[in-house]
Amino acid sequence: MPFKKLTELYFDNKVKVVPFGAMSFFSYLGQLEHLLTTPGLIDLNETDILNTINGAKSLTLFGIEQTGEDKIEKINKCLLDSLLESLSSKVSGAFFHVIGGPEMTLSDVNSVAETIYNFLDPDAGIVFGTAVDREKPDSIKILLLLVEK
Residue ranges per domain, the chain?
Answer: 2-148
Q: Are strands 91-100 and 120-132 parallel, antiparallel or unpaired?
A: parallel
In 3D, which of 77, 58, 57, 71 has the Cα closest to residue 99? 71
DSSP 23-73: S-HHHHHHHHHHHHHS--SB---HHHHHHHHTT-SEEEEEEEEEESTTHHH
CATH architecture, domain 2-148: 3-Layer(aba) Sandwich (3.40)
pTM of the model: 0.83
Q: Provide the residue-wise pLDDT of the chain in tens; the chain has 149 residues.
A: 577 888 888 888 888 887 655 568 888 888 888 777 777 777 778 888 888 888 888 888 888 889 988 999 999 999 999 888 888 788 888 989 999 999 899 899 999 999 999 889 999 888 888 988 888 888 898 989 999 88
Cα–Cα distance measured from residue 66 to residue 8, given in angstroms and rounded to the nearest whole number: 31
